[in-house]
């Protein structure tokens, strides 16, 4: 026959499962033993368990945000070689990593030639945002336009727009590589307009602003889009040779040096 204590333990396990407190369930006996050894009271026991539960929830939340952001790769600011890019302000980038600009619904634009590290930096900022609790979504510009056009054709555009509007940080990569149709340009402009002072955007582009008309096919629409994007935003111009080419040269040089040893 089960004792009163046994019944209490069974009920406690049931309640912890119902309350979705898996760390409490898994660690309570271990933490109780530690607290008994340390002569800690019930408040300390609950504090230690609740801290572990919160840490595990934060870890899982970060994993979920990174997974749903759909980054094409994992990139860290620590892995970026600032020596290969001319006049890139490392201090400015590190300040952006704190993500305070997202709270203020500001934007960040990376401009530079192909291969200079724009996508790397945008992903690094996006990962930092995920780790700090901001839901994030990564698109290529062409991919986002195609998604918007498909949603319009399937009469689900409004639902998609509402979903995107709820995301604190939207990353639009590689704007400028492919010109858009009139419909695509208008749909993308609508995304920028809806997010104006309501959500943050990171944009990377291989084109200077004066050439964006070639992408959107309309000077007036391009001007209105740039007005919304650059207002209260950070414009970061990356100059120098291809970041990927520089990294390749560095690896070959290191391999050559190792071969001579």
Question: Which pLDDT value is given to residue 16?
Answer: 74
Q: What is the pLDDT of residues 181-195, one digit of tens each?
A: 999 999 999 999 999
**Residue 213 pLDDT > 70:** yes
- Is residue 250 pLDDT above 80, yes or no? no
Residues with Cβ < 8 Å from 40, sequence gap 6 or more?
Answer: 34, 48
Place of tokens 């949603």: 151
- Asked if residue 172 lies in contact with residue 142, where contact means CB atoms within 8 angstroms, the answer is no
Residue 204 near residue 118, CB atoms below 8 Å: yes
Residue pair 142/177 in contact by the 8 Å Cβ criterion: yes
Domains defined for the chain, CATH in brackets: 4-68 (no CATH), 70-247 (3.40.50.300)
Query: Does pLDDT of 3 surpass 90?
Result: no
Segment 139-158 mean pLDDT: 96
Q: State mean pLDDT over 85-104.
A: 88
Q: Which residues contact 164 (CB under 8 A, 6 or more apart)?
A: 137, 170, 191, 194, 195
Higher pLDDT, 153 or 249: 153
User: How long is the chain?
Assistant: 261
> Is 217 within 8 Å of 183 (Cβ atoms)?
no
**Low-confidence winner among 39-48, 81-90, 245-254 (lowest mean pLDDT):** 245-254
Q: What is the mean pLDDT of the chain?
A: 88
Q: What is the pLDDT of residue 39?
A: 86
pLDDT tens-digit readout, 29-53: 888 888 888 888 878 888 888 888 8
Contact 244, 115 (CB under 8 A): yes
pLDDT at 245 over 70: no
Report pLDDT for 41: 87
């Amino acid at each position: 026959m089960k004792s009163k204590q046994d019944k209490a333990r069974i009920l406690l396990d049931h309640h912890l499962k119902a309350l979705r407190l898996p760390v409490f369930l898994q660690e309570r006996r271990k933490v109780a033993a530690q607290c008994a050894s340390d002569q800690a009271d019930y408040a300390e026991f609950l504090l230690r368990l609740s801290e572990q539960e919160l840490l595990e929830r934060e870890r899982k939340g970060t994993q979920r945000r990174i997974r749903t952001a759909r980054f094409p790769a994992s990139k860290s600011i620590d892995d970026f070689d600032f020596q290969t890019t001319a006049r890139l302000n490392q201090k400015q980038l590190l300040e952006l990593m704190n993500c305070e600009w997202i709270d203020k619904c500001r934007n960040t634009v990376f401009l530079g030639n192909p291969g200079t590290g724009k996508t790397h930096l945008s992903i690094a900022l996006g990962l930092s945002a995920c780790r700090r609790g901001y839901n994030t979504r990564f698109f290529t510009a062409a991919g986002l336009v195609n998604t918007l056009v498909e949603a319009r054709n399937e009469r689900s555009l409004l639902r998609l727009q509402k979903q995107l509007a709820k995301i604190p940080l939207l990353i639009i990569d590689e704007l400028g590589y492919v010109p858009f149709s009139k419909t695509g340009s208008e749909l993308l402009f609508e995304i920028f307009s809806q997010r104006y002072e309501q959500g943050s955007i990171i944009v990377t582009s291989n084109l200077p602003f004066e050439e964006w008309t070639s992408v959107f096919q309309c000077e007036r629409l391009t001007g209105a889009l740039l007005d919304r994007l650059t207002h209260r935003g950070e414009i970061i111009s990356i100059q120098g040779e291809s970041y990927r080419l520089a990294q390749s040269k560095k690896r070959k040089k290191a391999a050559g040096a190792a071969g001579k040893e």
